[in-house]
Each structure stands twice: as structure tokens, then as C-alpha cells.
Chain A
Amino acid sequence: EIVLTQSPATLSLFPGERVTLSCRASQSITSYLAWYQQKPGQAPRLLIYGVSNRATGIPARFSGSGSGTDFTLTITSLEPEDFALYYCQHHVNWPPGLTFGGGTKVEIK
């Protein structure tokens, strides 16, 4: 079973700062890696899929990268609306299923 570990659990930052979130897999995975943003009371919002593809309507300040076991989500300049919880997710081919990281909360400093 593949485990996704996100670090750190919480980040305290100022608006305008650059942030890099980490997602580490317990074993090498394919390109089925996605990132979601979630705000209180809302459904997860897809940001990145296939490691580095921005979802429809997602601003260019969000980018994804990585390979093997180490993946990152970068926000180049934090906007007030970016303070939220972020999850990484892997799409398992066999047996079919989804695995999620524990999440990283990005909060205002």
C-alpha cells in the first residue's frame, strides 16, 4: 500500500510569500499525482493533476512538479484566498483506488 506523507502539517506565511508544499510517497509512483485545495465548508478544489497540469481556471501562480517519490506544489506569491488546506492524491491502478496525503494547512502569519 502506497502512503503519501505531506510536510509540514502547518505553514504560517505572509501574503506575497512563495510557498512550496511537499508530498512524499512510500514508493515510486507514476504520474497519477494530483493536488487539491480545501476551505472550510467547501468541497476539495482540484488544482493540479498528472503531477504538473493545472486544472481548468487555476491561476498560473500554482504549479506542480516532481517524480518518483517526491512531489511539490508551489505557489509563487500567496494571495489572501490561498490560505487553506492542501491535499495530495495518488490514483492507484491496481487494485483501483485513491490514496491521500494527510494535508498541509497554509495559514496567515
Chain B
Amino acid sequence: QVQLVESGGGVVQPGGSLRLSCEASGFTFSSHGLHWVRQAPGKGLEWVAFIRYDGSKNYYADSVKGRFTISRDNSKNTLYLQMNSLRTEDTAIYYCAKVPDSGEPHWGQGTLVIVSS
């Protein structure tokens, strides 16, 4: 079965950096594009970034463009989100998600990022 397990969250000061990871199993990792989605406390869901199956193209929400970088290592079945210049408004639970053109989407359980001084 498909499993997505996020890690790397924690508490960081404004202006700091953090790298999130998402380890995948149960499907052919190198054949699927993947997303990061976040949810701030008490708020709705917000799409953050997408990476193509081969890592050749990335797309970002305007709110994180220039600060966040999505990447992947297909040899390790792992997705990453490098977050730089963090702001208090980046505080959220971050989910990785596999949302195919056809077939069932899958999400991880999320990792919490708190940006606070």
C-alpha cells in the first residue's frame, strides 16, 4: 500500500531554515509527480509546491516562491522541501501528497513547522 511519511519539522526562528523530508513506499516513486501542501493552525489547506516525476520542473505557490525549494532523490524514494527565510506565517503542518491524473490520491500524516522567536 502507498505510504508517505514526512519528517524534519520543528521550531525555528524567523529568518531560519528547515528541510522537510517525505519517504515514500508502495508505488513506483520515480514515475509520479509529488506535491507539498500545508495547513496553518485553524486555517484551510494551501498548496505549496509540485515537482515532476523526474525532478526536471518545479512549481511553487506565490507565497513561497524564491524561499522554498522542492526536490527529490529517486534513488532514495524521498521528496524534500528546503525552506529558507522562514516567516511566522509559514507556521503550519506540512503534508506531502501524491495526486495522480487518474487513480486515488494519497497523503502523509504531516510534519509540524513552528516559526517563532
Contacts and interface: CB of A to CB of B under 8 A. Distances in A.
B110 to A, nearest CB: 5
A102 to B, nearest CB: 6
Contacts, number: 55
Given A43-B95, A43-B107, A100 B50 contact: no
A91 B106 CA distance: 13
A61 to B, nearest CB: 19
A54 to B, nearest CB: 10
A50 B101 CA distance: 9
A32 B103 CA distance: 10
Interface in B15-70: 33, 35, 37, 44-47, 50, 52, 59, 61
A49 B105 contact: yes
A44 B97 CA distance: 11
A12 interface: no
Given A87-B45, A89-B45, A98 B104 contact: no
B14 interface: no
Interface in B87-117: 93, 95, 97, 99, 101-110
A43 B103 CA distance: 20
Nearest to B108: A43
Nearest to A45: B107
Contacts of B52: 96
Contacts of B59: 95-97
A55 interface: yes
Nearest to B51: A96
Given A89-B45, A96-B50, A96-B59, A32 B35 contact: no
A34 interface: yes
Given A97-B35, A98-B35, 7 more contacts: A43-B107, A43-B108, A46-B104, A87-B45, A96-B59, A97-B47, A97-B59
The 5 A-B pairs at the shortest CB distance, nearest first, are namely A98-B47, A100-B45, A96-B50, A43-B109, A97-B47
